[in-house]
Amino acid sequence: DTQNDRSITFTPSLSNTVEKLKQSPAKRNEETGVKRKRDAKDGCIPLRFGKLHLTVSLLSEQTWCEKKVVYGFLRPQIKKKDKQRIEVKTGASIHLARELEVHDVVQINIQSHEDAVAISLISVLNMIPWLETGQCVRELPVFGVVEGVYIKGVIDELSYNQKGELVLKELKTRKQDSLPGDSQAYGHRFQVGLYKLLFDALVRGEVKKEHVLEHLKLRAYQALGAEVITYATNVGINVVTFGELLDTFLLTLSCSDLPCIDVLQLEYCHQGSSSIIGTVLVQFDESQLRAELRGYLEYWRGQREPKGVDIEEAWKCTSCAYEGICDWRKNRSQVLESLHTRMRVNMN
Ligand code: SF4
C-alpha cells in the first residue's frame, strides 16, 4: 500500500463549480488594481487586484521587474503564452519528477475556498512526522502573515544534513549551463529567505487561527468537502469543519519539535543534460529581507505606482513578453532619445 510507505502531496482538482471560486468576489479597478475600500473594514490591509494574499513566487518575480508582474495581471493572455515557453514547461516537469521520487501526488475535488486551504493544511500535517523522523519532504506548503500581509509558498525540499541541520533546498532549472547572473540570483535568494521566514514562524507557533480566517476571509464553521474529509481520515485526521482542521493543525505544530531552518541552499540544474551546474549557500539576514519586502509591499498596498527596470538593467526588456506594450520602456526610450538629441545639439 503506497499510502503507508510514502508521504502524499494533495493538489486541488478544480471542477467547473470551483472554477467560479477562483474569480475574486471583490470588485476591483482593472487599471489600477486598487481594491474597493469596503474590503478594508475587517482590519486587513487591502491589496491591489483584490488579492487577499501574495505568493512567494509572485514577490520573487517582483524583484526582477515590478511592471512585468503588473502586466501579468493586466494582460493574462500574454502571460499565458509566456508560460508555455519550452523552458518553463521543462522546469515544471523536472520539479514534478523530483517530487514523485518521495511523494505520491493525489488530486482531490474541492467544493469551497476552505477546502483549497484545507488541502495545504493536510499536506503539512502529513509531512510533519516525516520531518520529525529525519526524512526528506518535498513541496511543503508554508504560509503566514509577514509585515501585515498574508504570504504563502511551497518549499521545494527540506532534509537534514550530516550535522543534523535542517536544510532548505530550492531547485532552479536553467536553459544555460551556467550559474545565473546577479539580478536573477538576487530573486532566488529573496525567495528562499521568505520561505525561511514563513517556515520558522509556523514551527515557533507564531501563526494564529485568526490570521488564516481573517486574511483569507474563511469560515471556521464551513463543512469540508467529502473528498477532503476522506483524505484527511486516510492520514489519521478526523475533522468535519475547516475550523476543526485548523485547530488540529496549529495544535500539532505547537506540539511538534521541528527546528527552524538552519541552511538555505540553491541548486542549479541544467535542463538539457539534467546535470547539476552548482549549489549556492544563501546567507540569511532577516532585517534586510524584511526591509526589502516592505519596499515591494508598498506597491501592493497602493502606496506607490509600479516601477520598471533600472536603466542599467534595460537588457531585461529584450527578453520580456510585454516589451511591445510596456509604457515604462516606451517612456525610457523617449527620454534617452531626447537626451541624445540634446547632446548632439550641444556638440554642434
Ligand atoms: Fe519590465 Fe522591461 Fe518588461 Fe517593461 S519591458 S515589463 S520594464 S522588463
Q: The whole model's pTM is what?
A: 0.84
CA angle 149, 151, 156 (to 5 degrees): 160
Q: Where are the beta strands (DSSP E) in 22-102?
A: 54-55
Give the Å distance between the CA of 320 and the centre of ligand 1: 6
Cβ(67) to ligand 1 under 6 A?
A: yes
Residue 313 CB–ligand 1 contact under 6 Å: no
Mean pLDDT over all residues of the chain? 85
Please give the number of the atom of ligand 1 that sits closest to the Cα of 317.
2
> How much is the pLDDT for 97?
72
pLDDT in tens, 82-138: 777 666 667 777 777 776 676 677 889 999 999 999 999 999 999 999 999 999 999
| Ligand 1 center from residue 33 Cα (angstroms) | 18
Instruction: Write the residue with the smallest CA distance to atom 7 of ligand 1.
Output: 308
* Ligand 1 within 6 A of CB of 317: yes
The pLDDT of residue 274 is 84
Pick 39 or 96 by higher pLDDT.
96
Query: Which atom of ligand 1 is nearest to 68's Cα?
Result: 6
The cell numbers describing 264, all together, are 538555505
Instruction: State whether residue 329 is helix, strand or coil.
Output: helix
Q: Is the CB of 66 under 6 A from ligand 1?
A: no
For residue 173, list its beta bridge partners. Answer: 269
Cα distances from 300 to residues 4, 45, 46, 137, 317, in angstroms, run 43, 10, 8, 32, 22
Instruction: Say if CB 122 and CB 228 are below 8 A apart.
Output: yes
Is the pLDDT reported for residue 56 higher than 50? yes
Please give the Cα distance from 116 to 217 (Å, whole number): 13
For position 92, what pLDDT does the model report?
72
Find how far residue 74's CA is from the centre of its chain: 19
Whether 153 lines ligand 1, by a CB cut-off of 6 Å, is no
CA 323 to ligand 1: nearest atom: 5
Q: What is the pLDDT of residues 144-201, one digit of tens each?
A: 999 999 999 999 999 999 999 999 999 999 988 999 999 999 999 999 999 999 999 9
Question: For residue 74, how far is its CA from the centre of ligand 1 (angstroms)?
Answer: 14
The pairing of strands 263-270 and 166-174 is parallel
State residue 348's pLDDT score. 62
Q: In this structure, what DSSP letter does residue 181 have?
A: -
The answer to whether the CB of 316 is under 6 A from ligand 1 is: yes
Q: What's the complex ipTM?
A: 0.99
Contact of 292 with 190, CB cutoff 8 Å: yes
- Cβ 327 under 6 angstroms from ligand 1: no
32 CA to middle of ligand 1, Å? Answer: 17
Atom of ligand 1 nearest to the CA of 316: 8
